[in-house]
Structure 1
Amino acid sequence: MEKENSSTDASVALIVGVTGMAGFSLAEALQKPTTPGGPWTVYGVARRPLPGWFPSSLIDCFISLDALDCADTANKLSPVAHQITHVFWVSLQVHENEEVNISMNSTMLANVLNTLRSATPSAIRHVTLLTGTKHYMGPIFDPSLAGKLVHHEPPFKEDLDRLPYPNFYYALEDLVASYLPSITHSVHRSSIIVGASSRSFYNTLLTLSVYSAICRHQGLPFRYPGNKYTWDHFCDMSDARVLAEQQIWAAVTEGARNQAFNCTNGDVFTWKSLWKVLCEVFDVEFVGYEENDEKFDWVAMMKGKGEVWDEIVEKYGLLETKMEDLACLEALNVVFHFEFQHVCSMNKSREFGFLGHADTLKSIPMWVGRLRDMKIIP
């Protein structure tokens, strides 16, 4: 049953992409009685039905729709559109070509916002938009631009100019800004998100979990598949809980309206230090970086292990998944071969009043535990 909100001050969230890492943590955060702006009514949207690991108690109403389809979006959202006060946009469609990404992601967001605006009366006040550090690096996963991109120098800061490349993050920022002043917005540029879901396209921790499980299952060494630069130099991450906290803070804080904020844990790590933590939590032997590892084509190796993952799923009674749906091999391979320190500045966020943080090396074991509890990994 849907909750009716008679108060004009009621906070009703629509999480678009609720079954991804960011959406799942947002749903958990919004249901807490101490969350700012509450009590919240939480509606969740995803293209597919809720997975078995997702507690139905986290949302008051689930809506399955295809946001690329204007008619389907309008039909499914119209009955509740007059209630929605805040949109948390944590959804994305990903293709290799960035122009396609621009078209598809812009279409989805416009379909949802136009449906909410057409409600009588319309209650929508704020859009929270999740993007990421491709804002500062360009479309790094588009093979047609490989070797052509020039990134900003880290640490990445929010006031850096846009890069001269197509980028669907830029398109989405321009789209939400076009609804001013009637609808305010905030933009949240995450780093590598670490969280729990079986449905996030870019899920580094889940990819590494699958890789380690296959290595352990077959008695293979858990080799670091990146270069020496990333092994030794700094990187940062975004715990999905910190990201949810910042998104909610910005949604209800007047001074944060119409601003863009980086969102990381506030610390940095090296892959060398993180690899030790991963080996301990995955129960595999630590193997340090070796020069020969750079010749190791782990993407090709892993692509031949789909049947091995099927064996692991059956052996441990896991959620029925296919390896190719869980592991973002090519994307993570790009990250492993950066030749610059992937570090964002959190100064603006702190200056505006958001002080959330997490210890990256401590958050990893916690999230691995969540993935195990959800029966996604062994």
Structure 2
Amino acid sequence: MAGLAIAESLMNPTTPFPGGPWKVYGAARRPMPTWFASSLVHDYITFDALDSENTIQKLSPVSHEVTHVFWVAFGQLFQSEQLNVTINSTMLTNVLDALMIKSATRSRLRHITLQTGTKHYIGPIFDPSLAGHLVRHEPPFQEDSPRLPYPNFYYALEDLVASYSSSLTYSVHRSSIIIGASSRSLHNALLTLAVYANICKHQGLPFKYPGNRYTWEHFCDMSDARVLAEQHIWAAVTESAKNQGFNCSNGDVFSWTCMWKVLSEIFDVEFVAFEESEEFDWIEMMKEEKAGSQVWDEIVEKHGLYKTKMEEITCFDALNVVLHFEFQHVCSMNKSREFGFHGFADTLKSVRMWVGRLRDMKIIP
């Protein structure tokens, strides 16, 4: 989600870059999907960042050109946050080492932007060994909050980029729930909701809210991928933003009551008000025969969509955790504004726009 928006922003001729227009290399483990416009990158490089030799082999030919890295990749296992620390630290170390290899041509790398998120303030909420034991910061989340006493791969990546401070600068971008367009993002909440709504519509099932009363009635925030891209690039070219961490949300809040009305309208399903007595497990619902991946296959075939499997494009388990929070998931944008970043978006309008993009990309009907 963030990668697509950053590529689009970098290729915009009005986007600032000292010395001329950006030359953009896209990089990922898998080949470029057909819905990703090749015009958004000058070249696309596939490699396995967990394999140091493969990373060096693929990146060393361009290492003399690369001045900025926009790091929006992450690997996450739900078994252990300590494993996440190892996986993510290894990937980023391999990439930075490959780009900073001492050769006849000196490395030009001077800045890395690091994508993290609000688990910085609420802890590793997907680690089952810590379920029910986490202590978090009180919202609205603020960047000067001390670190929590748990393993967290966000902390590890921040320490890693800071360790290169003698050679390059960095910025950290702590997003809220990202809304954007992608068929491969591990935590694409909007795509998960879109799949759920379309399955309900296809099956003639009520579009019930799967969270609790607290989230239904209280505030939450999101990060439009375009705002996130704008902040990444702003920090990359703004001297005062160097070696700083920033929250990045849209700057507004919403209740899930309002969001559910908007989603009901967008996907043409009847709005169903939350009823405590009707709380249900949508994860189990998706696992039932004819109610999950099988139905999504039918929808993909019926509408001639980009070939996806439900398990690859949804994050029901992760979103279920968010929809059962007992606190308001809200970030402060004060530091960003004080440093000169004023990007914002209307979240409910953003949702409509990104659903339109997902439809144009033939990922959802």
Residue pairs, 1:241-280, within 5 angstroms: 241-280=226-265
Q: For the residues of structure 1 that align with 2:161 and 2:287, how far apart are their CA atoms?
A: 38
Q: Deviations over 1:114-164 (max 9, x none)?
A: 111115310000000000000000000111110000110000000000000
**Which position in structure 2 is the counterpart of 1:27?**
7
Q: For the residues of structure 1 that align with 2:343 and 2:107, how far apart are their CA atoms?
A: 32
| Match for residue 52 of structure 1 among 24, 31, 34 | 34
| Match for residue 110 of structure 1 among 93, 107, 118 | 93
**Which position in structure 2 is the counterpart of 1:174?**
159
**Which position in structure 2 is the counterpart of 1:17?**
none
Percent identity of equivalent pairs: 71
**Which position in structure 1 is the counterpart of 2:202?**
217
Q: Deviations over 1:80-132 (max 9, x none)?
A: 01100000000000101101100000000000001111153100000000000
Q: Does residue 290 of structure 2 align to residue 335 of structure 1?
A: no
Residue pairs, 1:108-257, within 5 angstroms: 108-119=91-102, 120-257=105-242
Q: For the residues of structure 1 that align with 2:166 and 2:173, how far apart are their CA atoms?
A: 19
Q: For the residues of structure 2 that align with 1:223 and 1:86, how far apart are their CA atoms?
A: 44
Q: For the residues of structure 1 that align with 2:86 and 2:120, how far apart are their CA atoms?
A: 17
**Which position in structure 2 is the counterpart of 1:307?**
294
Q: For the residues of structure 1 that align with 2:90 and 2:167, how far apart are their CA atoms?
A: 20
**Which position in structure 2 is the counterpart of 1:8?**
none
**Which position in structure 2 is the counterpart of 1:6?**
none
Q: For the residues of structure 2 that align with 1:177 and 1:300, how far apart are their CA atoms?
A: 43
User: After TM superposition, which residue ranges in structure 1, 4 or more long, deviate above 4 angstroms?
Assistant: none
* Residue aligned with 1:127, SS: strand
| Match for residue 39 of structure 1 among 3, 9, 21 | 21
1:225–1:293 Cα contact (<8 Å) kept: no
**Which position in structure 1 is the counterpart of 2:282?**
298
Q: For the residues of structure 2 that align with 1:170 and 1:281, how far apart are their CA atoms?
A: 38
- Using the TM superposition, give the Cα deviation of residue 292 of structure 1 relative to its aligned residue in structure 2, in angstroms: 2.2
- Using the TM superposition, give the Cα deviation of residue 36 of structure 1 relative to its aligned residue in structure 2, in angstroms: 1.4
Unaligned runs of 5+ in 1: 1-20
* Residue aligned with 2:9, SS: helix
Q: For the residues of structure 1 that align with 2:350 and 2:15, how far apart are their CA atoms?
A: 21
| Match for residue 101 of structure 1 among 84, 107, 110 | 84
Letter in 2 for 1:267: D
Q: For the residues of structure 1 that align with 2:249 and 2:87, how far apart are their CA atoms?
A: 27
CA-based RMSD of the aligned residues comes to 0.7
Letter in 1 for 2:236: A
- Using the TM superposition, give the Cα deviation of residue 181 of structure 1 relative to its aligned residue in structure 2, in angstroms: 2.2
Unaligned runs of 5+ in 2: none
1:224–1:293 Cα contact (<8 Å) kept: no
* Residue aligned with 1:265, SS: coil
| Match for residue 352 of structure 2 among 317, 342, 365 | 365
* Residue aligned with 2:263, SS: helix
1:226–1:293 Cα contact (<8 Å) kept: no
1:188–1:262 Cα contact (<8 Å) kept: yes
- Using the TM superposition, give the Cα deviation of residue 182 of structure 1 relative to its aligned residue in structure 2, in angstroms: 1.4
Q: For the residues of structure 1 that align with 2:142 and 2:131, how far apart are their CA atoms?
A: 24
- Using the TM superposition, give the Cα deviation of residue 303 of structure 1 relative to its aligned residue in structure 2, in angstroms: 2.5
Change (3 A) 1:293 1:36: farther
Q: Does residue 48 of structure 2 align to residue 66 of structure 1?
A: yes
